[in-house]
Amino acid sequence: MRRPLLHLAAAVALAALLAPGRPAAAPPAGIAYDETVRTFIGVSPPGLGEPEPPVSPAPRPRAFGFLFARPESDEPEIAAAGRFGRDMHAREAPRTLHHAFYDGWERIDDPAAGTAVLRECDRGRIVTLDLNRRTYRIVAPDDEPLPPADPAGRATAVAAQIATVGLAQASADGLPLSGFEQTATLTAADAGNCRSAVVTSTTYYTKWPVPARSCPVRPAAEDVPPGAVALLAASGCRPVLTVTRTGPVEPAGLLVAYQAVALRPAPSAGVPALLGWLVERHGFTPLGPADAAQFEIPAGFSESRP
């Protein structure tokens, strides 16, 4: 049986960052930005404005022994750790997507793949554009592929002590940013599927409200790299949390410009980050009625059917 904590760490970090705070102002008609995501193995993510470390060599399976230890010993399940390591290593290379929102519609461009997805649930459609072949495919919102559901694991009581401090104001792309640093100390009460650890997160918020969507937010779609929580859910960690908080409350409903999360085994003093992930958003541009055409199927595209 595996006893990793990464899914718990991701869930607690995300829940803490999305905790209720000061309400945001009314959203603009639309906004667009580029989003770059990356995972890190054995090192902490860089700070705001700092250069990123190079991609590490392919990790050895035993590097993930903390996450995949057998309950009766400290020996890792080598096969599981190896698969996990290869998946995390594949996500170390930075990936950039372009996001655009207008009047509840959402467009996600993947330049590397040459695709764009239009999520327009008020129109009853999810459209995938192949920009190279000039084709499109339409599915109903209920048929949209979603990340895998979290596997069921034995519930484990976990105490989460979350301490938050405010950071000095920063700026990026000429926009003022408000920053916060959180330290979440997670203590598993028994030898269940979850492991004790310390999760640190640094988040900088823009002045822009989180865009409105006509489609529900997909699992793992916000504030962590795409698929990260689904990947980490392979741990089987199913926590029953008791949370205590100290420090200021982070703003609610504001778009994140930068978020770095690092996971360390507990106790963490002097221990380098075991795993981390980074989200950076930049190039924020307001959109208006003149930009609505980018949410339509382009002229000259033909429908692709299965």
For range 158-171, the mean pLDDT: 91
Residue 226's pLDDT is 36
Mean pLDDT of the chain: 76
DSSP string, 208-276: EEPPP-SSPPPTT-SSS-TTHHHHHGGG--EEEEEEEEESPPPPSSEEEEEEEEEEEESS-TTPPPSEE
The answer to the question of residue 128 being in a domain is no
Domain count, the chain: 1
263: in domain: yes
Share of the chain above pLDDT 90, in %: 37
**Euclidean distance between CA atoms 252 and 16, whole angstroms:** 11
pLDDT of residue 217: 72
258 occurs within a structural domain: yes
Give the residue numbers spanning the domain of 263. Answer: 6-96+148-284
Q: Is 101 among the domain residues? A: no
**Residue 41 covered by a domain:** yes
Percent of the chain at pLDDT above 70?
Answer: 64
Residue 275's pLDDT band (cuts 50, 70, 90):
confident
| Length of the chain measured in residues | 306
Separation in Å, CA 11 to CA 2, 26, 126, 186, 235: 18, 28, 27, 12, 12
Query: Average pLDDT for residues 18-41, to the nearest whole number?
Result: 71
Of 7-21, 182-196, 202-216, 235-249, where does the model show the most confidence?
Answer: 202-216
DSSP 8-state secondary structure symbol assigned to residue 68: S
Q: Considering only 80-84, 143-147, 162-166, which range has the smallest mean pLDDT?
A: 80-84
Section 147-173 average pLDDT: 78
pLDDT of residue 94: 87
pLDDT number for residue 184:
86
In terms of pLDDT, which residue wins out, 83 or 295? 295
* Tens digit of each residue's pLDDT (9 = 90 or more) over 222-258: 434 433 343 344 455 667 778 899 999 999 889 999 9
pLDDT in tens, 121-143: 999 999 999 999 999 999 999 88
- C-alpha–C-alpha distance, residues 205 and 178, integer Å: 5
Is residue 208, in this structure, part of any structural domain at all?
yes
Q: What is the pLDDT of residue 86?
A: 67
**Residue 174 domain flag:** yes
pLDDT (tens digit per residue) in 70-120: 444 444 455 555 566 666 677 788 889 999 999 999 999 999 999 999 999
pLDDT of residue 71: 47
Query: Is the pLDDT score of 144 beyond 50?
Result: yes
Q: Which of 147-156, 194-203, 230-239, 272-281 has the lowest mean pLDDT?
A: 230-239
What's the average model confidence in pLDDT over 33-44? 85
Dist CA 278 CA 108 (whole Å) = 19
59 belongs to a structural domain: yes
